[in-house]
Amino acid sequence: MRAPLCLLLLVAHAVDMLPLNRRKKQAGTGLGGNCTGCVICSEENGCSTCQQRLFLFIRREGIRQYGKCVHDCPPGYFGVRGQEVNRCKKCGATCESCFSQDFCIQCKRRFYLYKGKCLPTCPPGTAAQQSTRECQEECELSPWGSWSPCTHNGKTCGSAWGLETRVRETGRAGREEAATCQVLSESRKCPIRRPCPGERNPNRKKGQRERRPRKDRKLDGRGDGRPRPAPA
């Protein structure tokens, strides 16, 4: 009778140890370290509850799913914080990445981003930017401004060829997006023929003295400055 009784006691002890082993496995590292950051974890399904500030990301493979605790949700998902569990939720079908379910940041191929939405074509009044896959509102061109002073190496005086520039602003009147419009500019060559302070006149030949204006003026053809006598 003693042998069956001892065997029965061993079986009962093993049954009592199962919940303890399961609890240890819940807080352990799991297979491949995928239980890192988990509060509850199993070898079959991975994490089901994460530590605070971490997001639970569920990866589905066929009919199986596996949970993992991450600091940031992967591309194509966005984080939603809840009272019990913070979860990673999938973006919309046309979004490559998103801020929320209703606001996309980047669209998938063949779609264009416009005000958080991914559209197959850009709406009227906008132009498709192929490089960024975004719909940019068309800008209105303003008239050209005045030419700037002619400068050469930052100076507006001397004897050289310089450049003068004018700009043409583009904007969307009355809209917040006006700051994204470009500013157009063009430059052209211009001559500088103005002496700088303290420098010799660049148009004067070397060795030539500057003529001083005469104070007297010719009153007759003799050139001596005396008045011509009145006729008798």
DSSP output for 159-172: EEEEEEEEEEEEE-
pLDDT at 219: 47
Domain assignment present for residue 191? The answer is yes
Query: Hey, which of 1-15, 18-32, 131-145, 170-184 has the most confident mean pLDDT?
Result: 131-145
Domain boundary (90, 109, 125) is at 90
Domain assignment present for residue 48? The answer is yes
Q: How many domains does the chain have?
A: 2
- Per the model's pLDDT, the better-predicted residue between 114 and 170 turns out to be 114
Give the lowest-confidence range in 78-82, 145-149, 180-184: 180-184
Domain assignment present for residue 222? The answer is no
pLDDT in tens, 10-33: 555 554 544 444 444 444 444 444
Interior angle at CA 126, CA 91 and CA 186, nearest 5 = 125
Range of the domain at 154: 139-173+180-196
What pLDDT band is residue 231 in, cutting at 50, 70 and 90? low
Q: Which contacts of 34-40 are long-range, i.e. CB under 8 A and separated by 24 or more positions?
A: 34/66, 34/68, 36/69, 37/69, 37/70, 38/67, 38/69
Q: Which amino acid is at 18?
A: L
Domain assignment present for residue 146? The answer is yes
What CATH number is associated with residue 61? 2.10.220.10
**DSSP percent split of the chain into helix, strand, coil, nearest 5:** 15, 40, 50
Domain assignment present for residue 126? The answer is no
What CATH number is associated with residue 191? 2.20.100
Element (H, E) at 5: helix 2-26
Residue 152: DSSP 8-state: B
pLDDT at 203: 54
